[in-house]
Structure formats: structure tokens, C-alpha cells
Amino acid sequence: MASICMLLLLLLFLFCTSDVCSSVVSSSTDAVLIVVDHSGKGDYKTIQAAINAVNSNNSELVYISIKPGIYREKIVIPADKPFITLSGTAGTNTTITWNDGGDIFDSPTVSVMASDFVARYLTIQNEYGTKGKGIALRVSADRAAFYGCRILSYQDTLLDDYGRHYYYNCYIEGATDFICGNAASLFESCQLNSLAKNLGTITAQHRNSPSENTGFIFLGGKITGIDGGTVLGRPWGSFSRVIYARTYMSNAISPYGWHDWDDPSKERTVYYGEYMCYGPGANRSKRVRWSRELSRDESAPFLNKTIIGGRSWLRPIPTHFKTHVK
């Protein structure tokens, strides 16, 4: 009997660490509601205090509603607290900001370490400026989604570290490698704004092997910025993979489009593609020869949520709430 019980416990553990368990939890329309208001009219005055109040090894949806205002905090969502949503009311009136630089893993204003995380209608900002690396958002977890968020810094703005991620209708701003990491991420209908005056780089994707199913996919959306000073990407990893599809490219994009980071050997192994992009920056007549103009068939695997397995874990906004008990 004891051995049967142990087997059942093992199966339950395996089930609840899989996408299946994520799908079961995320399909729920009920969530625990926690209200953050810096004026003192909510459950907590700070966002981190609300996150700290979530039980370790959490297994239910927690919806943290953040009232408008500027929250000067450095926030961590720890790995043992999955299924948390942070939601403002509009990306322009609910801001999380900090001022830190240096190490890319220590400087982020917001660090997401827990799976099944959602952020809605927030500005996430690092005010470190042009002095060096200052990460606004670090995402080091699987199954994370961001809707209507503004992510702002200068260098390494978004450390899209690892896991499967979805960004929808977000505004991401920076100058140097401002989307970097080795996640498998779909950026749909997002605006990328370059602050670079000379050589700027939007992406530094870190795929190290052709067997890794990672890469940055930009579907729809637009690229804006100062004329002629920015490339679409450069390879942090030897097998860096970035695709832009149906994206408007302004004159911010340099005619040659991509950079090899002064390592010509990577030109043979990177996968940099464009498909049906348009605008003055999308002219491929002077593109580097090692980038690709994708055909319809070549682009097809990247034009949906398959690369992130989104159908199994992207979840709707909860419709029923229960009160958080302190």
C-alpha cells in the first residue's frame, strides 16, 4: 500500500510540474484579489508587500490590482510563487521605477522568477540612463505574458532571459541590445523605439545551439526612432535567431539591417529573417547578405503562438474574485 501511495504522489508531482497542470490552473476564472494603493486605501501600500503575502508554493490565481501612481520599488516575484498577475489600469499611469545599473541579473527594476506570471498595463522603468547596463525587466521563468506594458531603459532594457514568453501591444524602448537573452518569445503588435543616435541595436539574442527552440519573433507592430542609427539585431549567441514579420520599419533602421558583433564566423550560423515587412527601413537592397528574406513557407512556423506553446498556458483575465485574507 505504501508503495502505491508513493507512486500516486510521484505522478501527482509530475502532473503539477507540467504544462497540463498549468493549463488546469490557468483555465480557472476565479482569483484571489489583492489591492495595492500607495495612498493606503488598499490591502498594501507597496507591490512587493503584496507579493510577499502570497503563500509559498502557491497553486491558485492571484490578481494584484495596482492603483495608479509611481511605485519606487525594486521588485522580485520569487520562483515559489507562480500564477501571479500584476495589473495596473493603464500603462501610462501606473509606474514601477528604480535606478540601478551594472550586473544584468542584479540591476532589474522587476525580476520575474516564477512561472505563469502575467503583467498588464504597467510601466516598468530603470532610470539608470546612458551610463551602462540598466535592466528594467528580467524574465527568468517559463510561461510569462505581458499586455499593454511600457518597458523603458537605455541599455539591456528587457532581459528576456529564458522560458516561453508572450508580449502583446507593448512599448519597449532603449538604445543598445535593448531586448536580450535566450527566451522563446513572441512580440505581437509591439512598438520598439530606439533612442540610439549612432549605432543602436534592438536585439541581442543568445541562442547557442541549433537544437535550442528559442528566438525572438516580432509579428506586426512597428519600429521607431532616430533616423538611420539602429540595426535589427546582433548575435549574443552563435546561433542567434530573430525574425521580423509584417513589421513597419521606419528610417531608424540602418540600410544594412544587421550586425555580426565583429565576429564574421557567426554570419554562417545565425538565423536572421524578415518577412513582408514594410516602411522605409524595410528596404532590403543593401541588407547584409547573411540575413534572409523569408518565403511564405519559411515564415509560417513563426507566425503564430506555436513556438511558445501559447495555447496551453495563456489565460484570460479572471472574472470572479475572492478577498485576500491577511
* pLDDT (tens digit per residue) in 139-171: 999 999 999 999 999 999 999 999 999 999 999
Which residue among 43, 116, 142, 177 is the active-site one? Answer: 177
Alpha carbon of 143 to those of 34, 163, 224, 277, 282: distances in Å? 22, 7, 28, 28, 31
Q: What is the mean pLDDT of residues 276-295?
A: 98
The reply to whether 156 belongs to the active site is yes
Q: What is the C-alpha to C-alpha distance for residues 99 and 83, in angstroms, rounded to an integer?
A: 27
- Coil, helix or strand for 58? coil
Single-letter residue type at 313 = W
**Does pLDDT of 61 surpass 90?**
yes
Torsion angle in degrees (nearest 10) through CA of 48, 70, 164, 300: 170
pLDDT of residue 25: 54
- Residue whose C-alpha is closest to residue 148's, from 114, 179, 164, 124: 124
pLDDT of residue 323: 85
Provide, rounded to the nearest whole percent, the portion of the chain with pLDDT above 90. Answer: 84
pLDDT of residue 21: 46
Predicted model pTM: 0.91
Q: Give the Cβ contact number of residue 45 at 10 Å.
A: 14
- 24: cell is 488546469
Under 8 Å between Cβ of 203 and 179: yes
Which residue among 116, 142, 156, 161 is the active-site one? Answer: 156
Under 8 Å between Cβ of 25 and 61: yes
Beta bridge partners of 104: none
Q: What is the mean pLDDT of residues 130-136?
A: 94
- Residue whose C-alpha is closest to residue 96's, from 63, 130, 121, 132: 121
> How much is the mean pLDDT over the chain?
91
pLDDT of residue 28: 60
Single-letter residue type at 68 = P
